[in-house]
Amino acid sequence: DAKTTQPPSMDCAEGRAANLPCNHSTISGNEYVYWYRQIHSQGPQYIIHGLKNNETNEMASLIITEDRKSSTLILPHATLRDTAVYYCIVRVGSQGNLIFGKGTKLSVKP
Amino acid sequence: GAVVSQHPSRVICKSGTSVKIECRSLDFQATTMFWYRQFPKQSLMLMATSNEGSKATYEQGVEKDKFLINHASLTLSTLTVTSAHPEDSSFYICSAPASRNQPQHFGDGTRLSIL
């Protein structure tokens, strides 16, 4: 049980902002929200993570709702190289491992 | 930032061969590393947790005698697929956290194809 719900796929026009939603209504108070992406035939790449506050780094912004039941990853100016599967993860296993769901396949189109 | 290196990136070999995959943390020490497996069009599934200086912890359904894990140092974990068969063909990925509360970083994966 990955504890997150994401749309299976999304399209975005090149140069536009890509907004990827994630529902995590059963998140616990001390669980972080992590976002990773996986480009075809590569290992997952860390993007950003947060607990309560919105976060921004050189790759993306993370907006977490006040009740923490959902979040949105924002890629401000999507490029073709941002085409990937994006995983929203809140659950950490007993060993400290990340538990992956099915993610959202983002296709950035010219 | 933290980097995890995985080698080789691709292996093609005959059925019955044993294959060793290496996972190295390049600029940090990792007492724990994770090995995942990913079949086509599926998500990553944890196979085992590699612990430096002690035995690995395997997930249910993963044969410890088939998937040998050695974590001999704080920067290296190896996964050996023994007597590999076509059904072991998959994408194997390792990861390691730089520290307890830091995000995990992943290797680039190893595409294993058994003929």
Q: Which residues from B are below 8 Å from A92, CB to CB?
A: none
Sign of CA dihedral A88, A93, A98, A102: negative
Residue A102 to residue B43, Cβ atoms within 8 A: yes
Cβ within 8 Å, pair A44-B97: no
For the stretch B61-107, pLDDT in tens is 999 999 999 998 999 999 999 999 999 999 999 999 877 667 889 99
pLDDT at A28: 87
CB contact under 8 A, A95 and B49: yes
- DSSP codes of every residue in A14-70: TTS-EEEEEE-TT--TT--EEEEEE-TTS--EEEEEESSS-EE-SS-EEEE-TTSSE
Which residues are CB-neighbours of A28 under 8 A, at least 6 positions away? none
User: How far does CA B71 lie from the centroid of its chain?
Assistant: 11
Q: Do A46 and B104 touch (CB under 8 A)?
A: yes
pLDDT in tens, B42-58: 999 999 999 988 899 99
Is B17 touching A (CB cutoff 8 A)? no
Residue of B77, B106, B108 best to disrupt the A interface, most CBs of A under 10 A: B106
pLDDT 10s digits, A39-75? 988 999 999 999 999 999 999 999 999 999 999 999 9
Amino acid at A37: R
**Is B107 an interface residue toward A (CB < 8 Å)?**
yes
Q: For chain A, say whether B49 makes contact (Cβ under 8 Å).
A: yes
